[in-house]
Structure 1
Amino acid sequence: MVAAVPGIRADPLGFLARLRGRYGDVVAFPMPRDPVVLLSSPAAARRVLVENHRAWGKRTAQYGALSAVTGTGLLTSDGEVWRERRRTAQPAFHPRGLGVVAEQSVAAAGRLRATWPAAGGVVDVDAGALQATLEVVGRTLFGGEVTDDGERLVAAVLEALEVVVGRVRTPLPAWLPTPARRRLRRAVATLDVAAADVVARRRARGLHEDDGDLLALLLRAVDAGDLAPEGLRDELVTTVIAGHETVASALTWTLHLLAEEQGAQARVAEELDAVLGGADEDGGRAPAWADLRSLVRTRAAVEESLRLFPPAWVVSRRALVDDVVDGVALPAGTTVIISPWLLHRRPELFPDPEVFRPERFEGEGLGREARGAYTPFGAGPRLCIGRDFALVETTLVLAELLRGASVHPVPGERVRVDALVTMRPRDGLRLRLAPRRRAGAGVSAPA
């Protein structure tokens, strides 16, 4: 393991792939004390996350490090704390609210699209995705526009997460006063202040009886004595990670893959023209909630992107009791690592697994086993509470951005993946835009 540390730091995804290729679906790491095991088969993931989920908890090094930022938010909490938080937050993600998510997603994408050069040019789609998804979170989950307080909250979250990832990859004694630990303390202090300011601003506006956004639900829980004020802070920070950064990641990688695979982009463009009436220079009307059923290819592109670049690329669990997984006896205290990134690349389930092929997700393209292995949002009771929110948002933002423009790679630019808490493009992701020809004319080439 000591010898493996440089490889883990440089390329954690490649490290996991090499382990599975060399040792198979169950790999024990040579670690002291409690066992640590990489599980790579769909059956193993199903056993841990679905069939016997009560036997597996979240008190792992991964979530322990993350909790330094999120506290006991939904992402890291376990047991009764998690159940109470989930019950409190659930109404904010009810399907009846998805129409509002759709409306705000299209509006945020429209504002982003208005900043793009009409005649084409190079833009950082990652920065744009982060801004658009932050606006959607602010308006749908926080109940208002994201102000400077919200942007400070996001910046502090991202800085703290960067430090946390470094700590996980290079563990050092907790007492050692490293620059990274001092940086983490500063970021968390900024988080606390920014979260408090977001809450104070919402308190000043007042809560109305019909307010059903997440922040309103959390504030009522605090007022009722069901949630401590620090719990409210933890859920705000968790929402920034799970409801903002992950969706931005999905949108960025979808645009990247469509730029790389022009044939797939042409199929999406053809659908957008048919559904939205792409007859004018703006690409027809804006998409809406009612169009989602018709945007089959657009959603399939998002789902295939989530297969290749699942934002939550690794999850972990700790055995609360003895269990048998993939025929291997695992004692209580064992930590297991499950990587959707590996599950999604099994050739027997996803032929040509490295190829971006959105048709897999159209109609009955995926078999039952492949559907079971497809876990970009987790599985079982801990399935991401915001799955439908994220899919609606990403699909409609993508449709609005591409109804009048096409995206293309920037010649000579290398796209590199940073496997952090989510999968992020290192130093942003720049694409070249071009105005798109209409109704069956295909995708135009950049000037």
Structure 2
Amino acid sequence: MTTVGEPDQVVPDEARPWPRGAARHYRRDPLGFVEQAARARGPVFRLPDDGSLCVADPVEALRILHDEAGDYDEVSGFFHVGGGLLGPRATQAAIGRAARTTLRAHVAAHRERLPAVVAELGEVSQWPSAGRDAVHRFLAGALLRPDSPPALRELMAHVVRREVLIRPSGRLARVSRRALWARVVRTIAAEVRHRRPRPRPGALPDASPPGPGDLLDAVIGATPPETPAEHVAQVYLLLFRTSIAPVGHVVAWALLSAAADDVDLAAVPAGSAVRESLRLWPVAWLLGRPVRRAHQVGGVPLEPGESVSVCPYLLHRDERHWPQAAAFRPERWDGSEPRGPYLPFGGGPFTCAGAAVAQTLATDLLAALTDGARLEVRAGPGRPHVEGIITPPPFLVRRTARRT
């Protein structure tokens, strides 16, 4: 079990340099490294790869995320495009709202399709890829509207099948998937140019799509018309990735964690199981914020240009706030026992815009999986893959009808 140290254990990192090989250890096993570092150095310490400050103290974490003092950059680092960031913040917020509206409407209108989507997985399915595939098939009409070019729709399905949503670890895999990603950006950019309105002389542009809008329409409508099509495509792909992989992984972690702790998911509310899955395996396990002005965190001085990373993974496993923190206990969300800081999708003004939609869809998908079914999870050896998000190791699920 992980117990984050008390605040008085903090020692400024300048006096505690990391031993040789620490950066390699961190890259190989980020979660294990930060757990060990928190036990040894307390809830505030520098990471050995880039020197950013990792924060797992609840008070400091909330202060950083809400940033009432204006110590950090106002633009979210999520919107990486063309070697920089798409801004300003108002544009980022508009994109988030438009995407949320589109996906929320689709989930509300089509949730009765989820049992059929689950049935298509078959009696035996391999996870977490099965979870990503199920989410993609359910959201397909919202991600790309039906009148989109068939070749484009097939290309995006190929992206999901090739697991390009997950950053690869091997060099050859990175090269191969980077080439595919570049091809997808070019194809989406061409569709952006096709969909963009062609204003008539003297008239305001009409950004209305010919039919029900999709996620790409939402991004096009929320970005300034002068935004390069390639940048619009990259933002769309970021949202496409985060609309699918995190939801599939939340459900996968619930299945895997329940099996490890002998919890019958059919006997607990799906919403509680999803919340507990997000506690143990938060979508955003490390939340980076660039420092804008000099200040201190946990006694460590910071200068402009440095970076601070709040760590929900450690905050969610702090025994002082979460009894039996390492255990999968959905019932903790149904009772009155104390709960600690909970930041599975970030916090403050940069909380993921689609957090509520993702949690709703994960809950509905898990409920469809467990409805009238017995689940048998066969987990093999393997560690989580940590690259941006925490991906579960592969495992099999056998789903059979419950005997009445």
Pair in the same fold by TM > 0.5: yes
Please report how far the alpha carbon of residue 394 of structure 1 lies from its aligned counterpart in structure 2 after TM superposition: 0.7
Q: In 1, distance between residues paired with 2:365 and 2:173? A: 36
- Asked if 1:39 corresponds to 2:55, the answer is yes
The reply to whether residue 100 of structure 1 matches residue 67 of structure 2 is no
Q: Percent identity?
A: 25
2:233 corresponding residue in structure 1:
233
Shift of 1:226: 5.4
Question: Partners in 1 of 2:145 and 2:346 — Cα distance?
Answer: 27
What's the secondary structure of 1:55's corresponding residue? coil
Q: Which amino acid letter does the alignment assign opposite residue 91 of structure 2? A: E
1:375-419 deviation per Cα after TM superposition (whole angstroms, max 9, x unaligned): 110001110010111011111111111112121232x72353111
* Residue of structure 1 in register with 2:97 after alignment: 90
**CA shift digits 1:101-134 (9 cap, x unpaired):** 14434414522324423xxxx4213222111111
**What is the aligned-residue RMSD (CA, Å)?**
3.4
Aligned residues: 373
Which one of the candidate residues 326, 335, 353 is aligned to 1:385?
353
The 5 A counterparts of 1:284-363 are 297-362=269-334
Q: Deviations over 1:261-283 (max 9, x none)?
A: 44442423xxxxxxxxxxxxxxx
Q: Which runs of 5+ in 1 are unaligned?
A: 167-177, 269-296, 439-447
CA distance in 1, matches of 2:221, 2:303: 42
Work out whether 1:432 is the aligned partner of 2:398: yes
CA contact (8 A) 1:344 1:374 kept: yes
Change (3 A) 1:437 1:77: farther
Structure 1 CA distance for aligned equivalents of residues 245 and 165 of structure 2: 13
Pair 1:147 & 2:119 matched: no
Q: Separation in 2 of the partners of 1:215 and 1:391?
A: 22
Q: Secondary structure at the match of 2:128?
A: helix
Counterpart-to-counterpart distance in 2, 1:196 and 1:54: 35
Q: Does residue 24 of structure 2 align to residue 12 of structure 1?
A: no
Counterparts of 2:389 and 2:69, CA distance in 1: 23
1:138 aligns with 2:105: no
Cα separation, partners in 2 of 1:187 and 1:92, compared to 1, 3 Å:
closer
Q: Which residue identity is paired with 1:195? A: I
Q: Distance in 1 between matches of 2:162 and 2:72?
A: 31
Indicate the residue corresponding to 1:282 in structure 2.
none
Deviations 1:184-226 (A, max 9, x none): 652342232342466578789x95467343322333456x725
Alignment of 1:27 with 2:27, yes or no, is: no
Going from structure 1 to structure 2, the CA distance change for 1:247 and 1:421 (only over 3 Å counts) comes to same
Q: Are 1:247 and 2:242 counterparts?
A: no
AA partner of residue 125 (structure 1): W
Q: Deviations over 1:225-280 (max 9, x none)?
A: 25431232022111122111111111111122233344442423xxxxxxxxxxxx
Contact kept? 2:165, 2:241, Cα under 8 Å: no
Structure 2 distance, partners of 1:157, 1:335, is 30
Query: What residue in structure 1 maps to residue 81 of structure 2?
Result: 71
Gaps of 5+ in 2: 1-17, 198-206
Structural mapping, 1:38-57, within 5 Å: 38-52=54-68, 54-57=70-73
Q: Distance in 1 between matches of 2:69 and 2:61?
A: 10
**Equivalence for 2:219:** 218
Q: Quick one: structure 1 residues 130 and 43, their matched pair in 2 at CA, closer, same or farther if it must change by over 3 Å?
A: same
| Counterpart in the other structure of 2:10 | none
TM-score (norm 1): 0.73
- How far residue 21 of structure 1 moved from its aligned partner, in angstroms, is 0.3
Matching residue's letter, 1:424: T
Q: Deviations over 1:4-24 (max 9, x none)?
A: 133223311000000000000
Secondary structure in 2 matching 1:158: coil
More helix by share: 1
Normalised to the residue count of structure 2, the TM-score between the two structures is 0.80
